[in-house]
Structure 1
Amino acid sequence: MSTPSEPDSRTVTLLLDDQLCFELYAASRAVTARYRPLLDALELTYPQYLVMLVLWEHEAVSVKELGAALQLDYGTLTPLVKRLEANGLVRRERRPDDERSVEVTLTPQGSALRERAAAVPPAIGAAMDLSTEDTARLRELLRRLTANVSARP
């Protein structure tokens, strides 16, 4: 008998329909594609939108905190933040108490964009067409999946 961490080798196949990774990939592409026209209207890419979500929630965060929240490394995050800064949505400043730390804050323009972005989650929710319970369960399963896969070598 197999345990949850050890799949039964008799049921593991190389059929595409049996690959959970493909379902995750296809779902991610479909959802991201649904975001595209909504975010184009805001002049944001999907990764930039994620940065803005964190900032709309916290108003100011260090680059390190932003990376942790989004599970992105510094090298990936820095160009995103620089582009948002070039577009006038955020400001980067060295913290006076720690010159090594860069804090990212919203500009008035970045704060104002929040109102326009408020239409995005309901539109995506309608496209997903999942019940509140299914959405909560899916979020829980995906978080557990991410934690499990990240914890294993």
Structure 2
Amino acid sequence: MDLAYELHDLVRTLDREAERMLRPLNLTYNRYLALEIVGEHPGVSGAQLARALGITEASCSALVRRLIADGLAADLAQKGGGNVRRLHLTENGELLRGKASHALGGPFDDVVRRLGFDPLRLAQTIRSIHDELKNG
């Protein structure tokens, strides 16, 4: 058994399951991730959001336009500041973010608990591995 492959396969499975679970909320996984990132980092720029999502700035711009059109996010950039967006979630965006987080987190945490693991400790372990790989 190869750890790297198992982690890769787990991520793919989680992504597919997340898409399925978010569908009733009219969200894609990328839109959900954007809500999470903007919610955690109010004032994030479109370019920063694109990097965090791992998508092109053009794709991110389309995603942001839709979030704004749907009333989930707003651009607080100062007038005359160029094309840089400063994004934050609206009240509706925060509400949807909470619903989506609950829809995703609860079932996954339940699976982890059924297997005898503590979700918080597992998350901390995964974060430590991730940080070490990122920062070397």
- Report if TM-score (shorter chain) is over 0.5: yes
User: Which of 101, 105, 110 is the equivalent residue of 1:121?
Assistant: 105
2:135 is aligned with 1:134: no
Larger relative strand fraction? 1
Question: Which SS does the other structure have where 1:61 is aligned?
Answer: coil
Q: How many residues align?
A: 131
2:40 is aligned with 1:52: no
Look up the equivalent residue of 1:111 and give its one-letter code.
Answer: E
Cα-to-partner distance string for 1:72-118 (whole Å, 9 max, x where unaligned): 44233222212222322123465325223112232332133234234
Which residue of the partner structure matches residue 143 of structure 1?
A: 131
Cα-to-partner distance string for 1:56-81 (whole Å, 9 max, x where unaligned): 22444221332344454423322221
Alpha carbons of structure 1 residues 128 and 143: separation in structure 2 relative to 1, 3 Å? farther
Larger relative helix fraction? 2
For structure 1, list consecutive stretches of 5 or more residues without a partner in the other structure.
1-16, 149-153
Contact 2:43/2:76 (8 A) holds in 1: no
Which residue of the partner structure matches residue 39 of structure 1?
A: 22
User: Which of 7, 32, 45 is the equivalent residue of 1:62?
Assistant: 45
Deviation at 1:19, TM superposition (A): 7.3
- Superposed CA RMSD in Å reads 2.7
So what's the TM-score if we normalise by structure 2?
0.73
Tell me the distance in 2 between the aligned counterparts of 1:55 and 1:67: 11
Tell me the distance in 2 between the aligned counterparts of 1:46 and 1:23: 21
Query: Rg larger in 1 or in 2?
Result: 1
So what's the TM-score if we normalise by structure 1?
0.67
Q: Which has the higher contact order (CA 8 A, sep 6+)?
A: 2
